[in-house]
Structure 1
Amino acid sequence: MSTTVPTVTLNNGIEMPQLGFGVFQVPDEETTAAVATALEAGYRSIDTAAVYGNERGVGKALAASGLPRGELFVTTKLWNADQGHDATLRAFDASLDRLGLEYVDLYLIHWPTPARDLYADSWRAIGKLAAEGRIRAAGVSNFRPAHLTRLIEAGGLVPAVNQVELHPGLQQAELRAFHAAHGIATEAWSPLAQGAVLDDPAITAIAARTGKSPAQVVLRWHLQLGNLVIPKSVTPARIRQNLDVFDFALTEDDLAAIAATDRDLRTGPDPDAFN
């Protein structure tokens, strides 16, 4: 199995592994073992968030791994209740303390929460942290084009990444085009739609032909679209299997067949309504 993960160059020149490991919904007490397994398998990008309640577990696994800090890419996120300029600075310090790190590689505003109307203030604070070198790259999550436009038009940092729900059932073509036009990398959370797309006939047919699992086919689809992707699992065999996607490729016909499965299948909240 090849574990050489390609990288995506972010808009500030930082290299981010294209395939990483997510820990959403993993209890803190299980997180250390799961992240340790992922690091041993060859993952070097780990994605957590303050609201997940498992930053300490991630930090313990990173510390115990013995891997040089420069080989790791760590993402965490600002929770909705902590938005606002000064609150963002405090929340970031707390995340850094829980992770046991001196900096994070990517810090994201978790949701725009438009009813709060604080994400622009949070973004200014994040720009300050980036200027201080405590964040190597700054981004957002679950932002729509209108939210992104507001940040871009304000000047300062253009988000390096927008992490959004994205999978064959919710392909976000318009948003991905906006990202491409503005130099923002697209990162997919729920890349397998929590399993909801894995029995789609188009995907199972490709899996049968290639000798790969449906999940591996979907992850390969993400990679060939150019998405950053962060599958989550606590099962060691599946953690390793999700990384084993670099020894085959989808054809143009495969990509067209998967494109036809788009059906506005949202498994998470609506970013315009979630606060």
Structure 2
Amino acid sequence: MSRFRLSAGGSRAHEPWFRIGTLDVGTTWFVVLLGGVGLLAYAVGGADFESDIAFLPDASWTLHHPWSVVTWPLAILFSRGALNFAIGLFFLWYFGRELESSVFGRNKLAWWLVLTTLVFPAVVSLLVALVPGWVYPLFGLQFLGLAVFLLYAAEWPRRLFFWGVPAWILGIIYLAVTLVQYLADRNWAMVFGLLIGLGISAIAARQYGALSEYAWIPRLPGGGPRRPRTRTRKSAQPTVVAGPWQGSSTTAPPVNRDAQRMDELLDKISAHGTESLTAAERRELEELRLRRRR
């Protein structure tokens, strides 16, 4: 039973919210676990339950189902939607972990995901208000998965995947395939809603320190990371005065230099954004991240 014991996480941005046994549950893993609950609910509750948590851009629906503005990513309305849901879940897990550990931290990633979740219903509702014939339900985790992957591809566009294809090309292909599906169905609400929603999501990510290389993406007044207060850290170990009466000096436990250096770099990102890192510090952070995974 100790494998499933719950314990509290740390207070730093890159530390987990809590732990389940040996699993560190940060924002990415928390969303993935919610997705697993969504799949289980689809298997048990069926279409009737799923339709209650999907979002329909209709004033009467929103009035009677207010929770749907945040629960729609967990809904699966059609059998083929389960595959798209699983793909979105994988993209969230695989690319979200990297964004959480190297760019956002758990708090900022959580806020960005919440804002992105709320943006899509708001945009689609506005489009339907302008063109009432465009009513279409919003459901599935593929939207958040696409947003996470495109943000990853924008942050590290030259990273290579299978067959040596860089991330930015895969991002364009994934977005194009998604748009073609909606274009084939003449689903204009999803076409324009997806493009506008992704644009607003990118602006939100910029406010939290991501996409620092893209100066053309606006940063709102007061946006971006704040400078932290200067705090004096107390020494973790008491000072031991060695004297001639001691045959051997008391030694402190070994310090994990990699973890200490990663903390320093992540604190700098949290305080000033990724643009505050030099090219050498970016490479160093990448090397530390790779060593930590081994």
Report the TM-score, using the length of structure 2 for normalisation.
0.24
The structure carrying a bigger strand percent of its residues is: 1
The structure carrying a bigger helix percent of its residues is: 2
Relative contact order (alpha carbons < 8 A, sep ≥ 6): 1 or 2 greater? 1
Report the TM-score, using the length of structure 1 for normalisation.
0.25
Decide which structure has the larger Cα Rg and report it. Answer: 2
